[in-house]
Structure 1
C-alpha cells in the first residue's frame, strides 16, 4: 500500500523527495558537514604560528684576518637593558649611541646573557643590520 501511494504522489508531482524506485530520499543534513569544517578550521588556526619568521645572517669569525686598528664596540644584551661599552642605552636609541663610536669598518661584539630571549636578540641584530658599516659578531659562551 505504501509503495502504491508513493508512486501515485510521484506521478502527480506532489512529492519531490520520493525516487522512481519508491524509496524516500533522506534529507541531507549540513550540520555534521559544518561541524567538521569548523573543527578543521579550528585545528589549522591553532596549529599555525602567528609570528613572522625572519632570516638574520650571522657572520662567522674568520681566521687569518688582520687585526683592525679601531677599537671594537662591545654590546651587552640583558633581558631588561642594553649597554654599549658599559653605558646603558635603550634599543630605540642604539643607532644614535653608536654613531660617535663608529669608524669606516667598525666591529661590534654582542654578548647576550643566558636569560635573553631569542626574539630580543633578533630585534637587536635587525637594528644593527640596518646601520651601514658595521661588522657584527655574536659571542657565544664556551
Structure 2
C-alpha cells in the first residue's frame, strides 16, 4: 500500500514580500507627468494699489462672462483685455483683475478662464471666494 504523503502548507510570506518589492520598485521608477497645470498663488498682503489704477471686474457665470458689465466669450477675452490695457509699458505694474463667480460655476469653467488669463500679460487676477 502506498503511504499517504502529507502536503506542506505553502508560506505566503515570501510571496507578499516579492509583491511589496515590485510595488515599491514601480512606484520609485515611474514618472508622474503633469497633464495640465494652472499656477495659483495664495492671497497675502500685497502692495497697495495706487489711486489711479482702477481694477477690472470680471464676472464668471456658468454660461456667460462679463468684463465690467460687457458680455464676452472666453475666446474674445484676451483681445478685450489687450484693448483695455492700452499703451501701458510692458514692465509696468500689472493691473488688478477681480474675478467673481456667479451662480453654479464649476471648477472646469474656472480652470478654462485661468488658462486664458495666463496667456494675457499685464494683469494680476484675484479670484473672490464664494460667499
With the length of structure 2 as denominator, give the TM-score of the two structures.
Answer: 0.62
* C-alpha distance in 2 between matches for 1:54 and 1:78: 23
Structure 1: 5+ residue stretches without partners: 1-51
Determine if the alignment matches structure 1 residue 95 to structure 2 residue 78. Answer: yes
Q: Secondary structure at the match of 1:96?
A: helix
Question: C-alpha root-mean-square deviation of aligned residues, in Å?
Answer: 1.8
Structure-2 residue corresponding to 1:80: 63
Determine if the alignment matches structure 1 residue 57 to structure 2 residue 31. Answer: no
* C-alpha distance in 1 between matches for 2:59 and 2:41: 18
Structure-2 residue corresponding to 1:30: none
* C-alpha distance in 1 between matches for 2:100 and 2:40: 14
Q: In 2, are the aligned partners of 1:73 and 1:109 still within 8 Å (CA)? A: yes
Structure 1 moving runs of 4+ over 3 Å: none
With the length of structure 1 as denominator, give the TM-score of the two structures.
Answer: 0.58
Q: Secondary structure at the match of 2:109?
A: helix
Q: Secondary structure at the match of 1:91?
A: coil
Determine if the alignment matches structure 1 residue 112 to structure 2 residue 94. Answer: no
Q: Which has the higher helix share?
A: 1
Segment drifting more, 90-99 vs 101-110: 101-110
* Offset at residue 56 of structure 1 (A): 1.2
